[in-house]
Structure formats: C-alpha cells, structure tokens
Amino acid sequence: MPEALNEADRVGPLGEFASPELEAAYRARLAPDARRLTLLMIGSSTAAVLAMGYQDYTLFPDGPQLRWLWTARVAYALLSVAAFVVIRSERAAYDQILGWWLLTGIALYVCAGAVWPAGSIELRIAAALSVLMCYCILPLPFRFQVVAAVLHTGAWFAVALWLNPPSDHGSVLGDMCWLFIVNALGVVLSRNGHIRQRILFVTLIRQSELSAKLGKALAEVRTLRGLIQVCAWCHKVHADNDRWQQLESYVRDHSHAEFTHGICPPCLAAATGDADNLAEMNGA
C-alpha cells in the first residue's frame, strides 16, 4: 500500500477501510453501479431458473414432483420480481434485499436437488456457477461474498450427501475438490480486488483534494506581467478605465505585496546635506 496513505485510509484484512466513515463513502460511491449490477443479476438469474423448468418436464412429465418444483420456481420468480421492483425504486438498501434474494436462490437449489436424480450435471454446474458468481459478480463486501459462497457450497453438500444420498461418491468427491479450489481462488481474487478498488478510491480522493488545494493556491497568486505604462514625471501608473494610480496603489491592487517606507543612504545623505545648508542659511 502506498506510504502516502494515512492510518485511516488503510484497508484491513477483510478488504474494508479501517475508517468507518471512509468505508461508508466508498459504499455510497459504489451504490449506483452496484444497484444496476444487482438488477441485472436478479433478472438474468430469474430467467435462467424459469428456463431450467423445462428440465422438470423432461424428468417428471406429471406428478407431485413437477408441481412441487414449479411451485418453488414460481415463488422464486415472484420474490425476484418484488426484489427487482424495490431495488429499482431505491426504497431500501440494495444489499439487504440482495441478501434475502440470495437465500431464496439457495432454498430453490435445495428444493430442486432434493427431487432431481442424484448426480445431476445441471445441479453440479449450477453450484459451481453460483460460487463463482458470489466471488466475481456479487456487489457486496468481501465478507458477505464469502458467506454467500459458503452457503451455496453447503447447499450443494446437503443435496449431494444428505437429501440425495444414492449419488456417485466418486463424482461427489471430485466436485468437493473442484468447489474447494473454486472457493480458495475466489477468496484470494475477491479480497485482492476489494483492496485494489479501495486503494484506487482513496488515492483518487487524495488527488482530488490536492488538486483543489493547488487550484485555490493558484487562484490566490496574482503576479504583474507585461508592459506597465508609468508617467515619466509623477511616476503614476496607467490603470484600467483610463485611470492613473499611484505606483504603490497599483502594485497593491494587482499583487499581494504591501508597501512600507524608509530612506536609502544617498537620499539620507542628500537630505542631511540640505538640512545642514538650511541651518547655515538661517544662522546667517
């Protein structure tokens, strides 16, 4: 981290500023883009969930499983629409709504996993993509990204080892290794990304502050440039609007200089000589 950053500007091990005020400012600056990304995530995920409902018909042409799965999918879609509307209208904090929406997605995954055949390739791909999404796309602080990824991973374990036990244990072990690698890489990449973004944010803030101070300092500096017309007899200066000013007044108005008065040695000698001559003449 650059040495120019003070202690309050430093980023902690969880990828957040040590200063709560600075972290809040960063989150506020990020909020508009994060809100748009959240809306995109909700819309695309809802479309994907409904599209995967076609697989329900393939696996269960009719019966209670089909009704159960589509009840869960429709409920998820309705909750997603509600979350989309609330976040878009900015009536609530997007991160809180996003957290509840993620829990509904995990619940839907568990519902589908409990009914679908063991070792379904669609569920395995959905688990891996969900974990990647948590680390790479989810617009939340680092610790919440980790929590969301761990919950998705735990949901996969619950489906593979508890709700659907007849699955291929070799495939389960392979998926466990794959998800472990994804989580490990996700933690490292996500944390480093959060730190870099915050360092860039605070660097831009400090640069903006320095630029403002420099602009203010330059605005306060006034210098005299160019040719200045001075009367050869009275030494007044030709100012604006055909006015003639005393040299002291003109310099004072066009710079930050101030005048004080003294006497140079030649003038002092001349003045002393004139005073002596005047005294002699008065004595005579």
CA gap 8, 10 in Å, rounded: 6
Q: What is the pLDDT of residues 117-126, one digit of tens each?
A: 877 888 888 8
Angle, helices 169-220 vs 121-136, to 10°: value is 20
Q: What is the pLDDT of residues 248-260, one digit of tens each?
A: 888 877 777 777 8
Domain residue extents for the chain: 7-214, 224-284
Q: What is the pLDDT of residues 19-76, one digit of tens each?
A: 888 888 999 888 889 989 999 999 999 999 999 888 888 888 888 889 999 999 999 9
DSSP alpha helix (H) spans, the chain: 20-51, 53-59, 64-89, 94-115, 121-136, 142-157, 169-220, 247-253, 265-283
Give me the sign of the Cα torsion angle 180, 185, 190, 192.
positive
Q: What is the pLDDT of residues 80-96, one digit of tens each?
A: 999 999 988 876 778 88
Half-sphere exposure of 132 (CA within 13 A, CB side): 8
> What is the value of pTM for the model shown?
0.72
Cross-strand pairs, 230: 237
Other C-beta atoms closer than 10 Å to the C-beta of 32 total 11
CA end-to-end distance (rounded Å), the chain: 87
